Amino acid sequence: MPELPDVEIFRRTAETHALNQAIEAVEIDDQKVAASSPQNLSESLRGYWFTEAKRRGKYLLMPTSGETVLVMHFGMTGWLEYNQGDKPGYAKATFNYTNGYSLHFINPRKLGRLYITDDIEAFCQYMKAGPDALALKEDAFMERAQKKKGMIKSALMDQSFISGIGNIYSDEICFQARFHPKTKINDLSEIQLVRLFHAMNDVLQTAIEHHAIPEKMPAHFIIPRRKEGEYCPRCGGAIKKDKRSGRGFYFCPHCQE
């Protein structure tokens, strides 16, 4: 599932290629991706242009020269492609520009959504999207974290607490901060919470620097080692998978307590 670093890469694609050119037509190839009606989506965008590409957690926000903002959520898997010519496979929506190029919203496993809003803050509140994990400052994080209950991993993945982190990056943050994912966040001392905050920032920034490609992550990351039989890059011990909770999580029982 695309998480904050992935969506940041999509945001950069949109920012580099897809701004300040008039949208000639919007093609919706799968009605389910349009959270409002495809007609409304098309009418809100046609003749206008995207002025900015912003991000909040896993949402890509594209304000237009009109009154509205297009919001993209990539669901289980998805990405953006900008090209001239053939429509790529799994393109569920296409924004055609007057210059002959198109921006494609690709979504192979569905569950991706396109929304139209005229108020980003109201939209985020309605979707219960908390502050973006990379935009959150240390003191604001501490204030929120000190009131939070539950396991560290669940807290990191709770989009209303912090937005942008999912299954894969929450494992990496716990690994880098050396906390067992099931440790209760309210059992952490102030110093430990600061450590968690810095691990969160380092992991997300580093992932973006490596274009959010798992195989290209640095050697001290466990993301490329999410397999049973793999070894911990820190201590050389076996990586464990805990299968009890949903999709399961990976950790090193020796390094994470």
Asked if 11 is an active-site residue, the reply is no
Q: Do residues 57 and 133 make contact, with C-beta atoms less than 8 angstroms apart?
A: yes
DSSP 138-164: HHHHHHHHTT--SBHHHHHH-TTTSBS
Q: How far is the CB of 237 from Zn ion (least distance, A)?
A: 5
Q: How far is the CB of 182 from Zn ion (least distance, A)?
A: 16
Q: How far is the CB of 234 from Zn ion (least distance, A)?
A: 4
- Which is it for strands 91-97 and 23-28: parallel, antiparallel or unpaired? antiparallel
Kindly tell me which residue out of 17, 195, 234, 240 binds Zn ion, with binding defined by CB under 5 A: 234
Binding piece for Zn ion, criterion CB under 5 A, among 22-30, 58-66, 75-83, 247-255 = 247-255
Phi then psi for residue 26, to 5 deg, are -120, 120
Q: How far is the CB of 225 from Zn ion (least distance, A)?
A: 11
Q: Do residues 77 and 2 make contact, with C-beta atoms less than 8 angstroms apart?
A: yes
Binding characters for Zn ion, 43-82, by CB under 5 A (x = yes): ----------------------------------------
Kindly tell me which residue out of 232, 249, 250, 251 binds Zn ion, with binding defined by CB under 5 A: 232
Q: Is residue 235 close enough to count as binding Zn ion by CB under 5 A?
A: yes
Asked if 247 is an active-site residue, the reply is yes
Binding characters for Zn ion, 190-229, by CB under 5 A (x = yes): ----------------------------------------
Measured between its terminal Cα atoms, the distance across the chain in Å is 27
Q: Do residues 170 and 153 make contact, with C-beta atoms less than 8 angstroms apart?
A: yes
For residue 107, is it left (φ>0), alpha (ψ between -120 and 50) or beta? Answer: beta
**Which positions are catalytic?**
2-3, 58, 247
